[in-house]
Structure 1
């Protein structure tokens, strides 16, 4: 399995910008599904953010996952790699 990395930047209501990657199976070609995964992640946050669209989320590259990451993607459909300003 290879994974596709979708680089994502979303504005928070407090003005900060969240940076995270959405990781999915590289065979997933439906960008709207990737956006849905990202929005599901944002919905778990206790703070408000802008809506996730193609403006905030773009395909970046393909890579090989670790076994744990592969298992998570096979089980849940996606994984999130938090980079910046993802916590309160």
Structure 2
């Protein structure tokens, strides 16, 4: 095989990887956000499953799942406090 063709193909592949790697960064950020929202919804599900015994129920929607996903356990605790104290 001609070395010029091999070098040309390898250079083209490297260029393609560099271009495609930079264009997928926003999708990676969006994907991480969706994963965090799903984890927040899972946290709220467990809170509702175990909190149902004491009468605690936090609705699972996009806003509460986002708060729980982005803030983690402190966010879930904050939502539980808001539900028990303010929205009683």
Structures share fold, TM-score greater than 0.5: no
When normalised by structure 2's length, the TM-score is 0.31
Higher helix share: 2
Greater RCO between the two (CA within 8 Å, min separation 6)? 1
Answer with 1 or 2: which has the greater Rg: 2
